[in-house]
Chains A and B, each alone.
Chain A
């Protein structure tokens, strides 16, 4: 964002460059390996939402030790997450370890039972269905797992692994399962003759392809990809990402792409949500997040990504360093969850929780002082909307207004930060 460091200390600059060297080469090689036919996916607002998640919460009980095992607290792994997933589009979910992104994926696939909230899919609320009612719906939402070494049963053949969903759901007559398995293996770029081999005979990348073939077996409409490439080598990562893009184009599957690698998410997902401690702090299309981030956490996250293009021109962004650790999700900070590590936090942040405020056509941010780096406003932009004063105390004179963009999707009107007025498309 600034190239002020070009005239800075050369020695320190060099040290920085060395420490970033490894990361830079890996990011660079990834860019090179993703060939031209697999350009970054584009956002298409004309597509209808296929999955709508509203205020989803997952609180895991913490039990006391001893005989009675009373519930003494809750791990608020996911604490009110809302978003929309559009037909054949991809939403990237990023955040550091333990922020609840994997839990969100497992809630949508109902591996966990949500504490609160709704998951609307084709007019049904999946969050309220029992496991029995859910079974016929399961074929529409499938998942690609993170670890290709633990996601395939070592005692089953590839044919049995890929064929199991079809056998369980009875979608394919028993005699044709093998033929269908071989078709799927071919789709994911494996030799169809290898159906009677065991997973241990394949490499990590090949195993992940088997996992992808299994997830496609029921022809799902939504695929949750839980860090599908983070366990793979960079060169293999690119191959798998290309495969996922081909599959998305060919079958029109909507992806919830969970990752911590911002370069991959940027390539794969036209829309990105940033999570911190169980909440979405910023969500928007690729341009809004990567070029115009307004949440201090997103800004810090992005500043940690090595940028080849800026390195080539000699410029370097200023690194925003976050102090301390992520607070415990058992007892998250009051008000804004990020305030304990936020460089621009003020009194209001500990009192009032910032709402997810829409600030552009497709850009929402949850911060009282939403702004570009180094331009934090003096007064909280959200205070007038919430009906509080700048310290977070209720302001009897103010009239609380409707929060623009409140809900899983994007509204037609939004709050214009520059003029403190409502904007319109």
Chain B
């Protein structure tokens, strides 16, 4: 197994104690470079990376395409439906104009709905994951590095958050929380604006999703704070903030990155679950979750309409998870599978 130190040691005789100039054929490899090489050799991870990148490009391009009118997720095409309100053609009305068919009842273009839906689903997951990571990392570092009663209190907060009945709160408090977001925070909640529900979903996912990251970071900090470079920083009188965020934090980016990549798929599927419970962003604004929920009523009459969002959700979740696993293997070669 290649550990970060070994190849560097081979390069060292050339840098010698006398400081001889480095020959051109000698490349000193940083741990980052070595990790990237390991990652590139992992075919499955590379494939998932490509898929994830395609999703990200799709998500980023969707609002632009909708704005210029290439994608049209909102126009009704009643003429493409039969008398039962289902797409007229075979396989959900697939045609050159509507490659994924049209949705039942309203006849909006399925491709445009899921493409724009990817954009909303991924941005919900991204913002929520960023919130969760920031809260988790800050509390984890403070908890692990200070220890004592601070650690105990943060530990109890984590326990409380984990013990909190999230699903119940999602359902029971959604109307109260939405009213709060609109009335107190003055978020424009006029008819059709997805913003209040977007904030609600992101808030719920972010505020309840940070606990595992906090525990992971705390564990890493517990080992890091006994390393001598932390003592060395204390010795010169470095401030607490400097020790936390300049000495300890840069050593944590690998687990943080992995935890972020594993959080994204969890939040994409959590959004779908929330859409099923009717607390996520609501139609007409599409998300992968609410398109899938909508399709469930037509499974028997229009299978295509169900399969497309289902496969898209499954694919992004699986690929993000594989990417996260691949990153973990590449960044931390000592931990076996």
- What residues make up the interface of A, taking CB atoms closer than 8 Å to B? 106, 109, 111, 131, 134-135, 138-139, 142-143, 145-147, 150-156, 161, 164-165, 168-169, 189-191, 193-194, 197-198, 200-203, 205-206, 211, 214, 218, 239
Q: Return chain B residues, CB-CB under 8 Å to A206.
A: 17
CB neighbours of B237 from chain A (8 A): 131, 134-135, 138, 168-169
**Given A138-B235, A191-B19, A200-B5, does the pair A154, B228 have CB atoms closer than 8 Å?**
no
B232 touches A201 (CB 8 A): no
Cβ < 8 Å to A, chain B residues 1-48: 4-5, 8-9, 11-12, 15, 17, 19, 28, 30-31
**Chain A: CB-nearest residue to B13:** A203
B250 within 8 A of A: yes
Docked-complex contact B250 and A155, CB < 8 angstroms? yes
Known: A151-B229, A200-B5. A168 touches B242 (CB 8 A): yes
**Chain A: minimal CB distance from B120 (Å):** 36
Contacting pair A146 B4 (CB below 8 A): no
Q: How far is the CB of A295 from chain B (nearest CB, A)?
A: 32
* Size bracket of the B interface: 20 to 34
B250 touches A138 (CB 8 A): no
List the B side residues contacting A106 at CB < 8 Å: 231
Number of A-B contacts (CB under 8 A): 84
Given contacts A138-B235, A165-B236, contact A203 B9 (CB under 8 A): yes
B232 A151 Cβ-Cβ under 8 A: yes
Min CB distance A301 to B, Å, is 26
Which of A146, A153, A154 touches B31 (beta carbons < 8 Å)? A154
Q: Which residues of B contact A (CB under 8 A)?
A: 4-5, 8-9, 11-12, 15, 17, 19, 28, 30-31, 227-229, 231-239, 242, 247, 250-251
Q: A153-B247, A155-B250, A193-B19 are in contact. List 13 more A-B contacts (CB 8 A).
A: A106-B231, A109-B235, A111-B234, A131-B237, A142-B235, A151-B231, A152-B229, A156-B247, A168-B238, A190-B19, A201-B15, A201-B30, A203-B12
B243 to chain A, nearest CB (A): 11
Name 19 A/B residue pairs within 8 A (Cβ), A-sorted.
A111-B231, A111-B235, A142-B235, A145-B232, A150-B227, A150-B228, A151-B229, A153-B229, A153-B250, A155-B251, A156-B247, A156-B250, A164-B233, A169-B237, A193-B19, A197-B28, A200-B4, A201-B11, A203-B17
Question: Chain B residues near A156 (CB, 8 Å)?
Answer: 247, 250
Q: Provide the residues of chain A in CB contact with B5, threshold 8 Å.
A: 200
In contact, A201 and B28 (Cβ under 8 angstroms): yes
In Å, the complex CA distance between A165 and B5 comes to: 27
Given contacts A168-B242, A214-B232, contact A201 B251 (CB under 8 A): no
From known contacts A191-B19, A198-B30, A200-B30, infer whether A143 and B250 are also in contact, taking CB-CB under 8 Å: no
Give the residues in chain B near A134, CB-CB below 8 Å. 237
Shortest Cβ distance from B237 into A: residue:
A135
Residue of B nearest to A224 (CB): B235
Q: What CA separation (Å) do A380 and B126 show in the bound complex?
A: 77
Whether the pair B229, A201 counts as a contact (CB closer than 8 A) is no
Give the distance to chain B from A180, nearest Cβ to Cβ, in Å.
15
B26 vs chain A, min Cβ distance (A)? 11
Chain A residues positioned under 8 Å from B15 (CB to CB):
191, 194, 201-202
Of the candidates A164, A194, A205, A214, the one having the most CB atoms from chain B within 10 angstroms of its own CB is: A164
Which residues of chain A come closer than 8 Å to B8, judged between CB atoms?
A: 200-201
Cross-interface CB contact of A218 among B12, B236, B250, B251, cutoff 8 Å: B236
Q: Which residue of B lies closest to A138 (CB)?
A: B237
Cα of A206 to Cα of B19 in the assembled complex, Å: 10
Residues on the A chain within 8 Å of B242, using CB? 168
| Chain B: CB-nearest residue to A111 | B231
- A227 CB → nearest B CB, Å: 11
Cross-interface CB contact of B236 among A147, A169, A193, cutoff 8 Å? A169
Q: Closest approach, in angstroms, between the C-beta of B11 and any C-beta of chain A? A: 8
If the complex has contacts A153-B251, A169-B237, A191-B19, are A147 and B228 also in contact, measured as CB distance less than 8 A? yes
Cα–Cα, bound, A111→B251 (Å): 22
Shortest C-beta distance, A121 to chain B (Å), equals: 15
Q: How far is the CA of A106 from the CA of B227 in the complex (A)?
A: 14
Q: Are B228 and A168 in contact (CB under 8 A)?
A: no
Once the chains bind, are B238 and A164 in contact (CB under 8 Å)? yes
Residues on A with beta carbons closer than 8 Å to the beta carbon of B235:
109, 111, 138, 142-143
Supposing A147-B228, A155-B251, A194-B19 touch, asked if A168 and B236 sit within 8 A by C-beta, the answer is: yes
The answer to whether B238 and A239 have CB atoms under 8 Å apart is: no
- What separation, in Å, do the CA atoms of A197 and B28 have in the docked complex? 10
Measured CA separation A200–B35 after assembly (Å): 14
| 5 tightest Cβ-Cβ pairs between the two chains A and B | A191-B19, A155-B250, A151-B228, A135-B237, A165-B236
Contact B251 A145, beta carbon cutoff 8 Å? no
Assembly CA distance A200 to B30 (angstroms): 7
- Cα A113 to Cα B4 in complex, Å, equals 36
B234 surroundings in chain A (CB, below 8 A): 111
B236 / chain A contacts, CB cutoff of 8 Å: 138-139, 142, 164-165, 168-169, 218
* A150 CA / B5 CA spacing, docked (Å): 13
Q: Which residues of B contact A189 (CB under 8 A)?
A: 17
Chain B residue at minimal CB-CB distance from A160: B246
Give bound CA distance, A145 to B228, whole Å.
7
Bound state CA distance, A379 and B325, in angstroms? 72
CA distance A239 to B16 in the complex (A): 14
